[in-house]
Amino acid sequence: MACKFGTYSFPQRLKLLLIIVSLGSILTWIVTHNIQDLVWEVNPQPLEQKVQRWTGVQIVSTGPQKPQPVTPTPTSLPLCAFLSPYLRGATALKFDAQLTFEEVQKRNPKVKEGRCKPQECHALQRVAILIPYRNRERHLLYLLEHLHPFLQRQLLDYGIYIINQAGNGVFNRAKLLNVGFLEALKEYPWDCFIFHDVDLVPENDFNLYHCDHEPKHLVVGRNSTGYRLRYKMYFGGATAMTKQQFTRVNGFSNRYWGWGGEDDDLRIRVQLQKMKIVRPSLEVARYTMTFHTRDHGNEINPERMALLKKVPQVWSKDGLNSCSYKVLTIQHKPLYINITVDIGDPRHNPEVAV
């Protein structure tokens, strides 16, 4: 018979053997993977454990939320899905010159005083978006227009804070973000903080505004850099850190007045604590930066390189634990919480300006 093994020549037998072995391995692979799924079905694990196995991502907030005075949260709500069913993927961004804050408010009826949380499920994390700010109203409007629906689709319990630097002194992005962290925590037990430039609009809602088991850098590509990372160690634009991660590095340095360096300083703090920086894939971590020129009062800081050299010596004394400031007003506006703050000015009052 033609199929008798003995009738084949040695090379033919070898080929046949190879085919049989390959088919066998493919079959084994399929069976083991399906069985793993079956085991998960028969023996369901808590959602948090599943999410951790699928993604390696740790869910920070698992305990029941404290009931809110106005709308108590039923503790019986199921946990929200890690990957929300409402995600849409890449969206073409349009910026309408006629847009108003009232219009954005109308489109987001569930947002109250800059905050929103899902009604159908218990959010996995409580996320505060902190935006350093001065005199960028148009950029803020476009960001709010896109960020509110984006965060609601991600099923987050979130709040948007604008930390507005009072006066015309030198701008200090990092110190404003420290103030935002300290002040936001006085209002609500946020688990996760996103330090977010006002002019960066995320293009894809699979770029999750959750915190990870390591500090997360969100801006992998942006239109202004041809959708490439600005440089390998870049840690600016928008980053996500848990309350614990940010506290562990003593927050940002307060000493970067003017443009540049503060994001590298934070990266060094993270590295000194032996934490790793994680990034989502370039496919989803894409941003459009609304066009702007350099602002007055935010000129390049010529001292930034010298400051960066001293991080290992100063990080534990310069940061959240040394941040002195004076809150002037806290306004709960419909779409955001506005904290106007006097952070000092190194030229006029060096003692406050640390």
Q: Out of 191, 205, 214, 262, which one is annotated catalytic?
A: 262
Q: Does 234 engage in binding with ligand UDH (CB under 6 A)?
A: no
Give the residue with the Cβ less far from Mn ion, 145 or 199.
199
Q: Does 199 engage in binding with Mn ion (CB under 5 A)?
A: yes
Q: Out of 259, 275, 279, 299, which one is annotated catalytic?
A: 259
Q: Is 205 a catalytic residue?
A: no
CA distance 18 to 27: 14
Instruction: List the structure tokens of 60.
Output: 């920070």
124's CB contacts (< 8 A; 6+ apart) are 51, 59, 60, 61, 79, 80, 82, 155, 156, 210
Q: Does 343 engage in binding with ligand UDH (CB under 6 A)?
A: no
Q: Out of 214, 263, 264, 265, which one is annotated catalytic?
A: 263
Q: Is 120 a catalytic residue?
A: no
Instruction: List the structure tokens of 217.
Output: 């850098």
Residue 198 contact partner, candidates Mn ion, ligand UDH, none, CB within 5 to 8 A by sort of partner = ligand UDH
Give the residue with the Cβ less far from ligand UDH, 4 or 294.
294
Give the residue with the Cβ less far from ligand UDH, 227 or 259.
259
Q: Is 259 a catalytic residue?
A: yes
Instruction: List the structure tokens of 322.
Output: 């040394």
Contact present, 238 and 130 (Cβ < 8 Å): no
Nearest to 84 by CA among 160, 149, 161: 149
Tokens 């103030």 locate to: 179
Angle between helices 173-187 and 262-272 (to 10 degrees): 60
| Element housing 141 (H / E) | helix 137-153
Q: Out of 107, 292, 296, 348, which one is annotated catalytic?
A: 292
Q: Please work out the total of residues on this chain that contact ligand UDH, with binding judged by CB under 6 A.
A: 17
Q: Is 294 a catalytic residue?
A: yes
Give the residue with the Cβ less far from ligand UDH, 163 or 323.
163
Q: Is 217 a catalytic residue?
A: no
Binding part of the chain for ligand UDH, among 49-57, 58-66, 133-141, 311-319 by CB under 6 A, reads 133-141
Q: Does 106 engage in binding with ligand UDH (CB under 6 A)?
A: no
Q: What is the CA 152 to chain-centroid distance, rounded?
A: 14
Binding part of the chain for Mn ion, among 6-14, 46-54, 138-146, 192-200 by CB under 5 A, reads 192-200
Instruction: List the structure tokens of 26.
Output: 């493919």
CA distance 333 to 39: 49
Q: How far is the CB of 180 from ligand UDH (least distance, A)?
A: 11
> What type of residue sits at position 309?
K
Q: How far is the CB of 52 from Mn ion (least distance, A)?
A: 35
Kindly write out the interface string for residues 281-310 of this chain, putting x where it contacts ligand UDH by CB under 6 A and - elsewhere: ------------xxx-xx------------
45 φ/ψ angles, rounded to the nearest 5 degrees: -95, 160
CA distance 241 to 211: 6
Q: How far is the CB of 347 from Mn ion (least distance, A)?
A: 24
Q: Does 238 engage in binding with ligand UDH (CB under 6 A)?
A: no
Give the residue with the Cβ less far from Mn ion, 199 or 265.
199
> Contact with ligand UDH (CB under 6 A): which of 115, 117, 134, 216?
134
CA distance 324 to 326: 7
DSSP one-letter code for 44: P
Q: Does 262 engage in binding with Mn ion (CB under 5 A)?
A: no
Q: Does 179 engage in binding with ligand UDH (CB under 6 A)?
A: no
Nearest to 114 by CA among 63, 62, 184, 198: 184
Give the residue with the Cβ less far from ligand UDH, 115 or 134.
134
Instruction: List the structure tokens of 228.
Output: 């490439």
Residues lying near ligand UDH in the complex (CB under 6 A) are found at 131-136, 171, 173, 197-199, 259, 293-295, 297-298
Q: Report the catalytic residues.
A: 197, 199, 259, 262-263, 289, 292, 294
